[in-house]
Chains A and B, each alone.
With several copies, the nearest count.
Chain A
Amino acid sequence: MTRVVVTVMPRDGVLDPQGQAVQGALGRLGFAGIHDVRLGRRIELELEGPDPLGDARRMCEQLLANPLIEDFTVALEG
């Protein structure tokens, strides 16, 4: 069994309303010097099979990420 970590982040240039809302909230809490906040997803998969990274990549293409507005990366945990 392999643990694969998928990260899905909003594409550059695509509106990230969540990140904006969090940035505003952190500012109101008194944190200074925050230049940008981007919010994405981290998906941890426990996979079995010969090609876990390839599988994860296909899962991203088909379901886990929305290629129109998100970029993804897959990596073995370690």
Chain B
Amino acid sequence: MIAVVRFPGSLDHDSAIRAVQAVGGQATYAWHADTELPAGTRAVVLPGGFSYGDHLRPGAIASRSPIMAPVRRHADAGGLVLGICNGFQVLCEAGLLPGVLRTNQSTSFVCRQVELEVVDRHTPFTRELGGSLSIPIKNHDGAWFGDPATTRIVLSYGAENPLGAVASAAGVANAAGNVLGLMPHPEEATDPLLGSTDGLGLFAALVRA
């Protein structure tokens, strides 16, 4: 069972659940105010959105929610946690991933398709992915800021760097590789009708776990 955490202001929880189902998995919601993950949780998704309206700093308020304690325990025990966009921001604010997501260089929201390079294929998420992925980004605060020397950068935008991230980072993992955050939205690339199916691999990794 994959737990998709729902905060007030989460937006992409339904899409995340559909993406898990599209690769044959089962998913259910975890509620932000709960103090335990749903029984039988094998992996956790923190979906995109504007939890708490992105007020103060994106992800900051959600990262202090009760549900984050069991998410942290799950991660510490080696369980997989995938944070997408706002979920990535939450993981950074919670200290489960290094760095922080800052306002885009353009200072505006950017919604468009991007090409990603898989630069670290040794995480449970990326082992079976192709070398490059076409997945959309859509965010206002998606420029990763941190220390590239000490961070596992897993996905990069290549040379283009549309948001102004340090080291062109699009997705980073913790040292163990079981917690991954990325700004692009794999749940928006899960069907040929949507223009790409390159997002399915990340959900398949969760289901395999």
Beta-carbon contact of B56 and A17 below 8 Å: no
Q: Using Cβ atoms and an 8 Å threshold, which residues of chain B touch A69? A: 100, 102, 145
Q: Which residue of B lies closest to A25 (CB)?
A: B61
Q: Mark A40-77, 1 if CB is under 8 A from B, else 0.
A: 01000000000000000000001110101100000000
B41 within 8 A of A: no
B104 within 8 A of A: yes
Contacts A14-B145, A17-B55 given; does A22 touch B102 at CB 8 Å: no
Chain A residues near B (Cβ < 8 Å):
14, 17-18, 21-22, 25, 28-29, 39, 41, 62-64, 66, 68-69
Beta-carbon contact of A17 and B107 below 8 Å: yes
Beta-carbon contact of B56 and A63 below 8 Å: yes
Beta-carbon contact of B164 and A28 below 8 Å: no
Q: Using Cβ atoms and an 8 Å threshold, which residues of chain B touch A64? A: 56
**How far, in Å, is A59 (CB) from chain B's closest CB?**
11
- Total A-B contacts with CB atoms under 8 angstroms apart: 52
**How far, in Å, is B149 (CB) from chain A's closest CB?**
15
B53 within 8 A of A: yes
A74→B65 CA distance, assembly (Å): 25
Contacts A18-B107, A66-B100, A69-B100 given; does A28 touch B93 at CB 8 Å: no
Q: Using Cβ atoms and an 8 Å threshold, which residues of chain B touch A21? A: 52-53, 55-56, 61, 107
Name the residue in A14, A17, A39 with the highest tally of chain B Cβ atoms < 10 Å from its Cβ.
A17
**Sample (21) of A-B pairs whose CB atoms are under 8 Å apart:** A14-B145, A17-B55, A17-B103, A17-B104, A17-B105, A17-B164, A18-B53, A18-B55, A18-B107, A21-B52, A21-B55, A25-B52, A25-B60, A25-B64, A29-B64, A41-B56, A62-B64, A64-B56, A66-B60, A68-B145, A69-B102
